[in-house]
Chains A and B, each alone.
Chain A
Amino acid sequence: EVQLVESGGGLAQPGGSLRLSCAASGFILSRNWMSWVRQAPGKGLEWVANIKQDGSEKYYVDSVKGRFTISRDNAKNSLYLQMSSLRAEDTAVYYCARARVPTAASYYFDYWGQGTLVTVSS
């Protein structure tokens, strides 16, 4: 059974940092693109970042470029999101998601974790 379990969320001050982790099980992490998606309280889904199977390609939404870094450790079956220079508008539930990329025109999420809440406030 595929499972994705996020951790590392919590309260951070504006300008501060947090590192999110996602523990993957039930599948071979190294065979999949992985992503982070967030959802601000009462708002819709927002894609944050993607990372290729071997970590050689990374993509970010404009609002987090230069502040967030997605990474992975396939040997530890783990995905990470290092967040720095945090802003109030980064407050959200952050989901780890397994991606499927069957063609260049396709990218979607077939499994999601339950999410971890990040609150940025002084």
Chain B
Amino acid sequence: SYELTQPPSVSVSPGQTARITCSGDALPKQYAYWYQQKPGQAPVLVIYKDSERPSGIPERLSGSSSGTTVTLTISGVQAEDEADYYCQSVDSSGPYVVFGGGTKLTVL
């Protein structure tokens, strides 16, 4: 079955740049999406179609894609960015959704 691989954790100091990667063999052909989830809350879409940002999402969050890896970049990290981040894509055989294992972003 198709898998997406994320690092379990990333730590950065306030004001620095955080980069969270997500790897998957089908990513060159399928779009990736990113969700932010804070404790006790539902996930929130922060990036769609690799690099598009929904309205209301701060510009310091951005997405990029290169080959089999997509990256969520958070520039000028703030304390409020501390959360779990999940990448998501679909299997090329149909709308079978796949999530990465999630990355816990810690703001030191």
Contacts and interface: CB of A to CB of B under 8 A. Distances in A.
Contact of A105 (B45, B90, B97): B90
Is the interface on chain A under 10, 10 to 19, 20 to 34, or 35 or more residues? 20 to 34
Contact of B95 (A59, A95, A102): A59
Interface string A99-111: 0111001111110
Contacts of A45: 35, 37, 43, 86, 88, 99, 102
Contacts of A105: 29-31, 90, 92
B88 A108 contact: yes
Contact of A108 (B37, B48, B84, B101): B48
Given A107-B97, A110-B54, A95 B1 contact: no
A7 to B, nearest CB: 15
Contacts, number: 66
A110 B95 contact: no
B90 A95 contact: no
B25 to A, nearest CB: 14
Interface string B8-47: 0000000000000000000001110101010001111100
Contacts of A101: 95
A26 to B, nearest CB: 15
A71 interface: no
B99 A47 contact: yes
Interface of A: 33, 35, 37, 44-47, 50, 59, 61-62, 95, 100-102, 105-110, 112-115
6 contacts: A44-B84, A102-B49, A106-B90, A108-B88, A112-B42, A112-B44
Given A44-B100, A109-B35, A115-B42, 4 more contacts: A33-B95, A47-B98, A105-B30, A108-B33
